[in-house]
Amino acid sequence: MLLTDALHAIETVGGVWLGISAVAFILLGLFAEIRRKSAAVDVGLAEASKPSTHNRQLDLVAKAEKRPASKKAPARKAA
């Protein structure tokens, strides 16, 4: 009888801990998702407020690139 009561108490405590940890895990997931969305909004606002230097750098690179050479060889003059 004493062993049965002890086993029942251990099962009850284990169940309570399992339930508490499940609730804590769900709340942690919600907190992480809210923080992720908040950080994405903050980054979006920060990028919108500063001038875009990345696009300007890409434009400079595009201007610096040379056009591909023609596939035809230039005609040579006869000597």
Mean pLDDT estimate for the chain: 77
pLDDT higher than 60, residue 53 = no
Give the C-alpha distances (Å, rounded to integers) separating 5 from 13, 28, 58.
12, 34, 74
Q: Could you tell me which residue, 6 or 72, shows the higher pLDDT?
A: 6
Whole-structure pTM over 0.75, yes or no?
no
Q: What's the full length of the chain, in residues?
A: 79
Report the share of the chain in percent with pLDDT over 90.
38
pLDDT band at 13; cut points 50, 70, 90: very high
The domain segmentation of the chain, as residue ranges, is: 2-62
